[in-house]
Amino acid sequence: MYDHVVVVGKENEFLRTQRHLIDLSSRFSGYESVMLLRSVTDSTQWKSVLRFRTEQQLAEWMASPERAAALPKLRAELAEDFTETTRSTPFGTILRTENGQTRATPNWKTAMIILLVLYPTVMTLSRFLGPLLDGIGAPPWLSMWLSQIVSVGAMTWFLMPTVTRWFRHWLDPVDGAVPRTNWRGVAAVIAVYVVTLTLFASVKWLQFWDYFD
């Protein structure tokens, strides 16, 4: 979602530019919709809500030369540069706009957070859900599929959003770029790795390969 403050008298030019941007974005894979909303109390205040099917498809549009070429005209019609409401994706990426440029969490940080959540999730499901499915006679191929449904659902709607909030400052592409914040976050994630590895290595009750003993 973008916030725009339009220069008084340039509302028509702003709308033409928005229509041009909508036309350009609609040609990209994954485009779903754009909503353009004007404030009921201040005619210079506008919001635009852009939707793509996936974050990757949105990122392709955001980084496209077509969008970059259209932005100077848009900025000429604004009293100040547009801003974007910071938001996080289900899998640990935070998108943020600063000075009109959209930035995202580095891929290596997203990968570290996914691993932090994925490993204990898979280990726990293998220990508790796996034997349950085996007990009701589910074949291995079906058992694995059902386990993946549970793990993906849990990570998408519960685990990853929660962990992303815990590490939000570190994952933020602007605040998290500060060296001190960056290294503290890396150290914290590695510490959690060590704790989970130690836990599953030392507590036999949690080891799925021994559950039948």
Q: What is the pLDDT, as a whole number, of residue 89?
A: 61
Cβ neighbours of residue 2 under 8 Å, at least 6 residues apart? 47, 48, 49, 50, 82, 83, 84, 85, 97
Q: In what order do the strands lie in the sheet with 94-98?
A: 87-88, 94-98, 101-104
Q: Which residue has the higher pLDDT, 31 or 192?
A: 192
Contacts for 130 with CB less than 8 Å, ≥ 6 apart: 143, 147, 208, 211
Q: Tokens in use for 89?
A: 């994706």
Confidence at residue 86, expressed as pLDDT on a 0 to 100 scale = 55
- Give 95-101's long-range contacts (Cβ < 8 A, gap of 24+): 95/55, 95/173, 96/172, 96/173, 96/174, 97/2, 98/174, 100/71, 100/75
What's the mean pLDDT in 112-138? 93
Q: What is the pLDDT of residue 88?
A: 56
pLDDT at res. 101:
60
pLDDT of 211 reads 58
Segment 166-191, tens digit of pLDDT: 998 899 888 888 999 999 999 999 99
Question: Taking 60 as the threshold, does the pLDDT of residue 162 lie above it?
Answer: yes
Residue 98 banded pLDDT, cuts 50, 70, 90? low
* pLDDT for the residue 97: 59
Q: How far apart, in whole angstroms, are the C-alpha atoms of residue 196 and residue 213?
A: 22
- Nearest Cα to 146, choosing from 158, 127, 129? 129
pLDDT in tens, 40-60: 788 888 888 888 877 678 888
Domains detected in the chain = 2-85 (3.30.70.100), 107-210 (no CATH)
Q: What is the pLDDT of residues 68-78, one digit of tens each?
A: 999 999 999 99
Q: Is 129 left (phi over 0), alpha (psi -120 to 50) or beta?
A: alpha
Q: Is the pLDDT of residue 141 over 80?
A: yes
